[in-house]
Amino acid sequence: MNLPNALTLLRVALIPVFIVLLMTDHTYAAAGVFIVASLTDMLDGKIARAKNLVTNFGKLMDPLADKLLVVSALVCFVELKLVPSWMVILILAREFAITGLRSVAASDGVVIAAGWSGKVKTVTQMVAIILILLKNWPFSYIHVPMDQIMLWVAVALTVYSGIEYMVKNRAALSMKR
């Protein structure tokens, strides 16, 4: 197993640790675990491309690990009443729709790569989650609700990137079966 794939698996392994810490009121420790997991997302892709270690496993598991990490945090936030459920439903709907689109395309041998808007969406979601975990620090000192601003931006980017993926890849949906 190469280093990028090991980092992806580490991200997946950190998800239950994150959930247990968050749900047992160890919010700052959960934030630390989430930050480490988020950094593995950045590192695995850079290392894979730089060292020519891109694998089919990585292509499948890297975006799945991202989705599992983000969705785990958001579902916990709904339980903790930190994020409205409708926002999480929108994010989940986009993720299911794009995963379905990719599956349909893959069944016909077409790979739908992550686009710029999808990558920005993931980073924005992760930043919003970190700010929520850190109780809006350091912006709380200047009374700017940056955690909520980033959450709204993340939701808007989630919707935008979902529409963009569907429009750009509509041919994958209309292939004759």
- Taking the domains of the chain in order of start, what are their residue ranges? 3-173
Question: CB neighbours of 156 closer than 8 A, spacing ≥ 6?
Answer: none
Rounded Cα gap, residues 120 and 41, in angstroms = 13
Rounded Cα gap, residues 148 and 163, in angstroms = 23
Rounded Cα gap, residues 134 and 84, in angstroms = 18
0.85 surpassed by pTM: yes
Query: Could you read off the pLDDT of 103-152 as tens digits, one per residue?
Result: 888 787 777 777 899 989 999 999 999 999 999 999 999 999 999 999 99
Closest CA to 130 of 57, 67, 73: 73
Query: Could you read off the pLDDT of 81-113 as tens digits, one per residue?
Result: 999 999 999 999 999 999 888 888 878 777 777
Under CATH, domain 3-173 is a member of which superfamily?
CDP-alcohol phosphotransferase transmembrane (TM) domain (1.20.120.1760)
